[in-house]
Amino acid sequence: PKPTRLEDYQPPEFLIDRAELRFDLDAVETLVSAALEIRRNPAAKRGDGSLRLDGEQLELLEIALDDRALPPVEYVVDERTLVVQRVPDRFQLRTRVRIHPAANTALEGLYISGDMLCTQCEAEGFRRMTYFLDRPDVMARFAVTLVADATRYPVLLSNGNPIDQETLPGGRHLARWEDPFPKPSYLFALVAGDLARIEDSFTTASGREVALHLYMEPRNRDKCGHAMRSLKAAMRWDEEHYGREYDLDLFMIVAVSHFNMGAMENKGLNVFNAKYVLASPETATDQDFAGIASVVAHEYFHNWTGNRITCRDWFQLSLKEGFTVFRDQEFSADQGGRDVQRIADVRALRARQFPEDAGPMAHPVRPSSYIEINNFYTTTVYEKGAELVRMQARLLGPERFRAATDLYFQRHDGQAVTTEDFVRCMEDASGLDLTQFRRWYEQAGTPVLECTADWEAGQGTYRLEVRQHTDPTPGQPEKSPRHMPLALGLIGTDGRELPVQLAGEPAPIGPGTRVLELREARQVFEFVGLSERPVPSLLRGFSAPVKLRFPYSDEELTRLMAADPDGVARWNAAQQLAERVLLAMVVTPDTPPPQAFIDAFAAALGDQEADPALLAEVLALPSESYLGDQMQAVDVDGIHRAREALMVQVATALRADLLERYHALHRFEPVTDQAAASTDREPDLSPAAMGRRALKNLCLGYLMRAPDDAVLALCQRQYATAATMTDRIAGLRGLIRLRDTDQAELAEQALTDFYQRWSQDALVLDKWFAIQAQASAPGTLGRVKQLLRHANFSIGNPNRVRSLIGAFAAGNPVCFHAADGGGYRLLAEQVARLDPLNPQLASRLLHPLTQWRRHDASRQALMRAELEGLRARDGISPDLFEVLGKCLD
């Protein structure tokens, strides 16, 4: 397979103004007829006069140009294209092809999910349904006719507006849809099935009524309320914050059980992984509820950032994804709590994007070459892309940023554009010069800010020196300094904020956060008028996606952890302190944690003023993989041992405090009578209640590290009487720690109970698989192998694959990295098995192995051997080929 390069971009030679499609739907064999109105693109260079359409796995049955059937000498078909020789400047092309949805295991194009038929076109799935110019800068008006068996597929959906329905002879029926908005083919969708529907409506700011339809398998109809409420909240939010109204009279969401990713923003017809739609307090955790709100909002926001304004080519993917992630993060911050949302975003960025940026798969937010575009739906394009928008928003300030997005929507509506067009709007609306800022889109790698400070007591002057550098990444040995906002505050001994006044400036109105701008490799800031040596609170709100180093003393970190008014900085101080303690314990096992750490922990645990949700973040230890990222070579076992040991020590030292806080928080929960399975009250799903449960279950997690009979009983009781899945799964997570101990039967009982309760609910069963795959108990690898043979395991269902294989490989470092290589072998075998079926998923699952260079020599050899083994296989997919090439060469 050959790479596609950004520098080779050429505008399309032909445009398609209108596409009339007819699908004669059937799971085994579907016929697709297309009538395309095509014309030469006046803005493009004239080629050899022939038309090249994309098409894969299509069986061409008929082809006609302006109603003249084409003889075989006038066109050429191969595996990937249909070339029609010498076409006029404007013409109609009609084709008819045969496709096989039931045989489509890649879940790209038209495929079956359970009993329904559905599509996934982004990025290049449309070409698996008909011959087309399958690229985002070709935008056509679509008119679609769907014909299917009326009993099996009573519901027939496509983009835009329903035009017409007819009953046909032979038990079939037909539906016509028209989308008035021109769109690229990747936004096309159709769904056919026996689906239930819940309805609501939304009145836009300008007073238009929009019908909202949510479709699902009938047994799930009572689990869609939260998704619907989230949708309406997102619609209002987009009007209020960006002035964006919805533009059709109907907005539809369909929940499907077989889906490669989270969801898809097809125009007017979003198709969702059921995981991001279905929820009830008994079946979904608080995290699931938050995930649903954010994905529903994300896909809805794409209607403007993605659909109305789309990408010129796939290198521009972050234009829509980075901006839309930024928008959904801000939405979630407004719904649930700003600090906690930001902390979750930063945690995710550090857990996934920083390692990507530091490894063989590193690429810029706007990549310059790819073999398989599906490999570039990455955390760099998405989450780092969102950070780039966030930094621009911060540099502009709220008013100018709003003016800039207004300009963007006005200037580019209906167009397929680039990240450059986006940045230009930021500049044009603000007058700022973002020339240097553009490097963020082009340079891969995470910048490191090395900060030092000195204090001149006599003058009350505090000098902060900031140096930035970025390590080389594949293909980019040299990096230039970047332009970024650095938000900071200064904290005094009593924990209060001090004024932040730069030399030569008038005294500020009051203390608080200041945003400084970095541009140079080295910069010095001089703060004056200070009565004492401050502790700098740096990178508040995580104002730039960088690694910041400052030589804090433990005492200074403790002060920030207790008092920083910026929640993100407070959390970050706690993380740094814990990281320090833990890394010391890795080097010297059996060192007790410093008393100062236990005291700081106890103080935070007892803080009755702070938001419990924030405390739950502050008191959670850094993850094993994050700790690994901080080491030269990851000491998988040492880290696991140290982290567990510290949790035991905290649990032992602070048993009473943990229990007290646990009980105080648990009192809020409704109680379920186990026998009657009835609850005295409805569970509370407010952000405050979710925060209380988070802190409570954090306490339980610590307590279960050193469980005596009382703690065990408490955990069992929580498991058995929980009114929410959040509490039940937290109980189960505690009990499963007993596996492979002499109290193992408590774990087994709970797991069996859980299975029996939920074996009919696929999404809950995914949790049952995942929680076992993530257990650090020594027998886990063997159990994962058994679970692969479990009647409820299915290699054809991506959610199930992720919940077992993905959860094990990406979420269980100590077992996955078992010294004998058994974990690596398991992953490689499953990737090999999956690749011919679903290459996109296979290539994603492989990722933990791509980080092989981070490990000790013996693990490196084992990991490499598995990767080489995969590469030596015949007929691996381009997806896998690209990832293997990058991490092995």
- Catalytically active residues are 299
Element (H, E) at 16: strand 14-24
Stretch that binds Zn ion, among 96-104, 197-205, 319-327, 701-709 (CB under 5 A): 319-327
Scanning 320-328, 604-612, 708-716, 720-728 for contacts with Zn ion by CB under 5 A, the matching segment is 320-328
Please, what is the minimum distance in Å from the beta carbon of residue 881 to ligand B3K? 17
CA distance 632 to 267: 47
Our CB check for ligand B3K shows the closer of 385 and 731 to be: 385
Taking the C-alpha atoms of residue 562 and residue 551, their distance in angstroms, rounded to an integer, is 18
464 contacts which partner out of Zn ion, ligand B3K, none, CB within 5 to 8 A by kind? none
User: With respect to Zn ion, which residue has the nearer C-beta, 321 or 617?
Assistant: 321
Q: Which stretch binds Zn ion (CB under 5 A): 63-71, 80-88, 162-170, 317-325?
A: 317-325
**Which is closer to Zn ion, CB of 131 or CB of 186?**
186
CB atoms near residue 503 (< 10 Å): 12
Question: Which candidate, 770, 716, 781, places its Cα nearest to that of 743?
Answer: 716
Q: Which is nearer to Zn ion, 130 or 185 (CB)?
A: 185
Q: In terms of Cα–Cα distance, which of 542, 578, 624, 576 is closest to 344?
A: 542
Give the nearest distance from C-beta 216 to ligand B3K in angstroms: 19
With CB cut-offs between 5 and 8 Å by kind, which of ligand B3K, Zn ion, none does residue 122 bind?
Answer: ligand B3K
- Per-residue burial over 96-107, b if 16 or more Cβ lie within 10 Å, else e, is bbebebeebbbb
The residue (of 55 and 367) whose beta carbon lies closer to Zn ion is 367
Sign (positive or negative) of CA dihedral 715, 716, 720, 725: positive
Sole residue written with tokens 């108990």: 777
Other beta carbons within 10 Å of 836: 14
Instruction: Tell me how far apart the alpha carbons of residues 54 and 579 are, in angstroms, rounded to a whole number.
Output: 52
374 binds, among ligand B3K, Zn ion, none (CB under 5 to 8 A by kind): ligand B3K
Query: What does the alpha-carbon distance between residue 759 and residue 762 come to, in Å, rounded to a whole number?
Result: 7
Q: Is 54 helix (H, G, I), strand (E, B) or coil?
A: strand
Quick one: which segment of 27-35, 321-329, 357-365, 769-777 binds Zn ion (CB under 5 A)?
321-329
The residue type found at 310 is: T
As measured in angstroms, the least distance from the Cβ of 392 to ligand B3K is 20
Number of residue whose CB is nearest ligand B3K:
122
123 binds, among ligand B3K, Zn ion, none (CB under 5 to 8 A by kind): ligand B3K
- Residue 168 in tokens: 């046909």
Inter-residue contact 226 to 279 (CB < 8 Å):
yes
- Least distance between Zn ion and beta carbon 278 (Å): 20
Would you call 411 exposed, middle or buried from its count of C-beta atoms within 10 A (0-12, 13-18, 19+)?
middle
Contact of residue 455 among Zn ion, ligand B3K, none (CB under 5-8 Å per partner type):
none
Of the chain, the end-to-end C-alpha distance in Å amounts to 16
- Pick between residue 123 and residue 642 the one whose CB is nearest to ligand B3K: 123
Give the nearest distance from C-beta 321 to ligand B3K in angstroms. 5
For the CB of residue 664, give the shortest distance to ligand B3K in the complex, in Å: 40
Give the residue with the Cβ less far from ligand B3K, 125 or 489.
Answer: 125
323 or 527: CB nearest Zn ion:
323
Enclosing H/E stretch for 756? helix 744-758
CA 315 to chain centre: 19
Please report the beta strands in 758-848, taking only residues with DSSP state E, as ranges in sequence order. Answer: none
DSSP-derived letter for residue 381 is I
Q: Could you tell me the smallest distance in angstroms from the CB atom of residue 816 to ligand B3K?
A: 25
**Rounded Cα–Cα distance for residues 303 and 202 (Å):** 16
The smaller minimum CB distance to ligand B3K, of residues 366 and 514, is found at 366
Cβ atoms of 213 and 252 closer than 8 Å: yes
CB of 295 to Zn ion, least distance (A): 9
The helix/strand/coil state of 549 is strand
Contact of residue 793 among Zn ion, ligand B3K, none (CB under 5-8 Å per partner type): none
409, 304 in Cβ contact below 8 A? Answer: yes
**Which of 277, 725 has the CB closer to Zn ion?**
277
- Report the distance separating Cα 183 and Cα 452, nearest Å: 52
Give residues in contact with ligand B3K (CB under 6 A). Answer: 122-123, 261, 263-265, 298-299, 302, 321, 374, 377
The count of C-alpha atoms lying within 13 angstroms of the C-alpha of 883, restricted to the half-sphere facing its C-beta, is 29
Smallest gap from residue 299 Cβ to ligand B3K (A): 5
Report, in Å, the least distance between residue 841 CB and ligand B3K.
10
Q: Which does 261 bind (CB under 5 to 8 A by kind): ligand B3K, Zn ion, none?
A: ligand B3K
Number of residues that bind Zn ion (CB under 5 A): 2
- Residue 569 binds which one of Zn ion, ligand B3K, none, with CB within 5 to 8 A depending on kind? none
Residues in the chain: 889
For residue 377, the minimal CB distance to ligand B3K (Å) is 5
Q: Which residues of 763-791 are buried (b: 16+ CB within 10 A; e: fewer)?
A: bbbbbbbbbbbbbbbeebbebbeebbebe
Find the Cα–Cα–Cα–Cα dihedral 133, 136, 139, 144, rounded to 10°. 70
Name the nearest CA neighbour of 860 among 875, 849, 874. 849
Which of ligand B3K, Zn ion, none is residue 620 near (CB under 5 to 8 Å by kind)?
none
Element containing residue 526 per DSSP (H, E): strand 522-527
Rounded least distance, CB 265 to ligand B3K, Å: 5
Encoding tokens for residue 205? 């700011």
Helix, strand or coil for residue 658? helix
Binding range to Zn ion, per CB under 5 A, among 104-112, 196-204, 315-323, 589-597? 315-323
Residue 366 interacts with, from ligand B3K, Zn ion, none (CB under 5-8 Å by kind): none
| Residue 94 contact among ligand B3K, Zn ion, none, beta carbon within 5 to 8 Å by kind | none
| Burial (CB count within 10 angstroms: exposed 0-12, middle 13-18, buried 19+), residue 81 | middle
* Contact assessment for residue 342 and residue 567, using Cβ atoms and an 8 Å cutoff: yes
Q: Nearer to Zn ion by C-beta: 220 or 324?
A: 324
Residue number, 303 or 374, with CB nearest to ligand B3K: 374
Residues 322-361 that bind Zn ion (CB under 5 A): 324
566 binds, options Zn ion, ligand B3K, none, Cβ within 5 to 8 A by partner type: none
Residues 703 and 658: their CA atoms lie apart, in Å, by 7
Q: What are the residues binding Zn ion (CB under 5 A)?
A: 321, 324
